[in-house]
Structure 1
């Protein structure tokens, strides 16, 4: 395929449909856009917007039940939308390549890293084995992997998520394609790793002149990294244009809604100052948690963490993978006994509780987990899911249990009609509301939210955060909010602990930590929040609040 003066990618009037049994439904409607040489174009939208289907159509990887109904896709001037699968394979990697979303499932677990990078070179017959081996090391070096010779001999399970994503980028750039499709390339990564991966893609784009089609739900990432933005909703383009123009002066109501809901672009919501003299709901003092590894070696996961949470407030525990967040909250919830230190919920010393006392304690602390698709029993109705905790703790008459379930379902903003449904019939946001209802039905003193909004689309995330704030105001709830997303923490928390390698490196009010931290690690986390490069953010926020355009 020859390179011409045409756009690298030119999509015109694209319709895509999927079959479901005997029926077909169109999910992409008349989508048109271009990507110029060396340009980064962001396809932005929520689940079901059609952004992934559009990207899959460009690279010829639509699911078996999907097909292009109408329109054209020109890659370097050639129309490829009607090409056979075999012909598309001939350009995949060489002219257009993909950096997929999940590094954990995108590499072959039984092949070494070197073999998987070498495979793309061998498929296209560019190099002999010795030259290919040399090129593999060069590529792993170029994507910033330490000890590339060692990495080439390792298997995927021996690498971190960020290292795996660098390997996938090495495969994507191996043949210097004209276009890289980056499909949510950092959504599964910690915020600092995300920034490094996006920096890497930027550096390689500048070095090789490659164009990038960036598929993302994160407007902050799009604001920082793209030249143009295309906003999709329901398979239709709501608006598109230069990134700075779209974000500074959005023309569609949907784009304004996305901007107002994006935590990384939204102004921090003012929270009332903490009133002195509030009773303390939770105190963690010098918490240490050791584990014995299969090798017999001792591993200290949490090392001397201390913080307190006033009743009716939100304390955030933030940090990257391996920082000790999950170990800390499992100790708070009584799922494991601390090696040393003290955890008190009100007047109760959690570590001292045994048997029935520990079981009864667990009604005081309830957890809401990250993934609403995995945390609810798929075989139970919503009624049974929310009612179950009462069966474990209370001997209430059936009519009273049903009344309490109906009341809490209404309280979390769901209609009573959901009670007879199974989880698969609910949206992600509805499922998370059910999970919150289940946690609140026992009227706990402390609710631990473990990455409870990270799996949700931005507008649904905003709705859940508003619901949590409303419930806290009305019911006096105390939250421990576990997150790797400082943009969300800035919106919801009163106080924050920053964990790094099991230690607490920062602690204080959110305002103190965000505005005057002296810790290099915390500064790095804050500086990695996407959307910080957008110079018109405050103007955009004021514009959004002004309401619909006439």
Structure 2
């Protein structure tokens, strides 16, 4: 794959400025069950005032542990073995908790990953922002109130008076993340640690949040330690990058330099696998696949509004598209766009309010009872989260065999043969069959979920955010597997995703959805190269890691 290497970069800070943060030869261990495991080993880097440094790596690389060590927030079973952490030249790695508490918020602060679990559900937004001011000694209630409203306005949560009185559940994910940013910048710290601050957000919301962090950084001269698995985000937002693997530094340097000439094989693999940095390749037609496999016509799905008798919410509104056999059609859009509801109608899990879903000549909307149960052999669904979609009490063999037990009256020996065959087909060894899901990695679990979906030889497979929970290299391997299976088995895919970079790599055609309606539809490259709707242009321009030329073309 060709790698684009023209990121938008902030001006690099002067090299003569003394570092704000220095991490030198850091090693961190965890103790568990009588054993000790070193998870960070010899990590060193520095951050200058006003600079953004990205820590990049997959799950288990040590990037979050490194950030926790900097903050003095290692879990109880974690400890620094050796090395130094200096903030403003002062060694802080051995400071007692009381002294670190005074430091956090005032000089160094955190923007955590998940706004849903990071905010107290029973306290108002205003009270939670006020708390950071109170912890650091402010007692004047009127000044606290004034500062809270100022912070809410500063992060774009207007009207500030109303937002201050709301609870977290009354805000969207992006709005909750803005609250966390308000808390992080409340005392104008010198360093912000942003730990995957946008990984759970839609692409346009992600861009707005990252723009906000950049804006606040420029205004206050704040440094940022950006922890991310997304090289596209690092490309767009960081001055320098440190690539971690298995707790050790694989590569470090200016972003442009690392992208243009990566020295380590691991960094080269990360760049090759990053969907936002890759150039889509030509997709050969699937041999033997002809005709329309799926047709959705004037689909409508309504739900009653809780607490408002007689009022209906239209989640899907007059949606229609066709998918040719052996091709991949993507449904893209932000949360609440109606794409998952559409997918569930296709799979027969929802009965549409109106419209038709035709798989071959069968109208799914007209089925019920046993015909509907038998229909589900033709359309299978692969869910987003491989950690939650597999029964933890079963072995892998039992999980994959279960559809055969439900649908196929065949001898046990033949079921076992088919299970072994499909497990081998998705690239897993026979040895996984006796294991529970907990013994497998995320990528292995998703391969099991795909095997379970394919064991009945369906015509259509619906993949609902099926790679969004995976690291970039694991994601790339799963996408390669899906492509290979499609070529070999003539499968038709409906690929539901908010990640347009992935969609561009895997989909032949795409429908862009917003507020339950299709705002644009067509061949994927046509939509990406010349989007007709303002909304599609906004989505495409928000893809992290795009070159300036590609972004301008989309805009």
Alignment match, 1:407: 421
Alignment match, 2:10: none
Alignment match, 1:207: 219
Alignment match, 2:237: 225
- Whether 2:289 is the aligned partner of 1:261: answer no
Instruction: Give, in whole Å, the separation in 2 of the partners of 1:23 and 1:535.
Output: 52
CA contact 1:223–1:533 (8 Å) conserved in 2: no
- Whether 2:100 is the aligned partner of 1:84: answer no
Instruction: Give, in whole Å, the separation in 2 of the partners of 1:143 and 1:275.
Output: 53
**Equivalent of 2:378 in 359, 364, 368:** 364
How far is 1:130 from its partner? 0.6
**Equivalent of 2:66 in 54, 60, 84:** 54
Alignment match, 2:105: 93
How far is 1:168 from its partner? 0.1
The aligned runs of 1:19-168 (5 Å cut-off) are 19-168=31-180
Alignment match, 1:501: 515
Alignment match, 2:8: none
Mark the CA change 1:429 to 1:274 in structure 2 (over 3 Å): closer, same or farther: closer
Unaligned 5+ residue runs, structure 2?
Answer: 1-15
How far is 1:146 from its partner? 2.0
The aligned runs of 1:367-516 (5 Å cut-off) are 367-516=381-530
- Whether 2:323 is the aligned partner of 1:306: answer no
**Equivalent of 1:347 in 344, 356, 361:** 361
**Equivalent of 1:6 in 5, 10, 18:** 18
CA contact 1:318–1:498 (8 Å) conserved in 2: yes
How far is 1:87 from its partner? 1.1
Instruction: Give, in whole Å, the separation in 1 of the partners of 2:548 and 2:57.
Output: 19
How far is 1:126 from its partner? 3.3
Instruction: Give, in whole Å, the separation in 1 of the partners of 2:283 and 2:416.
Output: 36
CA contact 1:44–1:219 (8 Å) conserved in 2: yes
Mark the CA change 1:276 to 1:302 in structure 2 (over 3 Å): closer, same or farther: farther
Unaligned 5+ residue runs, structure 1?
Answer: 538-550
The aligned runs of 1:268-287 (5 Å cut-off) are 268-272=280-284, 278-287=290-299
The TM-score normalised by the length of structure 1 is: 0.95
Instruction: Give, in whole Å, the separation in 1 of the partners of 2:192 and 2:394.
Output: 43
How far is 1:415 from its partner? 0.2
CA contact 1:223–1:534 (8 Å) conserved in 2: no
- Whether 2:314 is the aligned partner of 1:330: answer no
Give per-residue Cα distances to partners, 1:124-178, cap 9 Å, x unaligned: 0135111000000000000011211101000000000000000000000000000
Instruction: Give, in whole Å, the separation in 2 of the partners of 1:27 and 1:344.
Output: 52
How far is 1:275 from its partner? 9.8
CA contact 1:368–1:436 (8 Å) conserved in 2: yes
Instruction: Give, in whole Å, the separation in 2 of the partners of 1:82 and 1:429.
Output: 38
Instruction: Give, in whole Å, the separation in 2 of the partners of 1:138 and 1:261.
Output: 42
How far is 1:482 from its partner? 0.3
How far is 1:272 from its partner? 3.5
Instruction: Give, in whole Å, the separation in 2 of the partners of 1:477 and 1:516.
Output: 28
Give per-residue Cα distances to partners, 1:405-426, cap 9 Å, x unaligned: 0000000000000000000100
Instruction: Give, in whole Å, the separation in 1 of the partners of 2:281 and 2:446.
Output: 23
**Equivalent of 2:301 in 289, 298, 303:** 289
Instruction: Give, in whole Å, the separation in 1 of the partners of 2:80 and 2:69.
Output: 7
CA contact 2:382–2:462 (8 Å) conserved in 1: yes
Alignment match, 1:185: 197
- Whether 2:532 is the aligned partner of 1:518: answer yes
CA contact 1:248–1:536 (8 Å) conserved in 2: no
How far is 1:533 from its partner? 4.2
Instruction: Give, in whole Å, the separation in 2 of the partners of 1:22 and 1:515.
Output: 56
- Whether 2:149 is the aligned partner of 1:174: answer no
Secondary structure of the corresponding residue to residue 308 of structure 1: strand
Instruction: Give, in whole Å, the separation in 1 of the partners of 2:287 and 2:443.
Output: 33
Instruction: Give, in whole Å, the separation in 2 of the partners of 1:368 and 1:403.
Output: 22
Alignment match, 1:547: none
Mark the CA change 1:535 to 1:180 in structure 2 (over 3 Å): closer, same or farther: farther
Instruction: Give, in whole Å, the separation in 2 of the partners of 1:335 and 1:428.
Output: 26
Alignment match, 1:321: 335
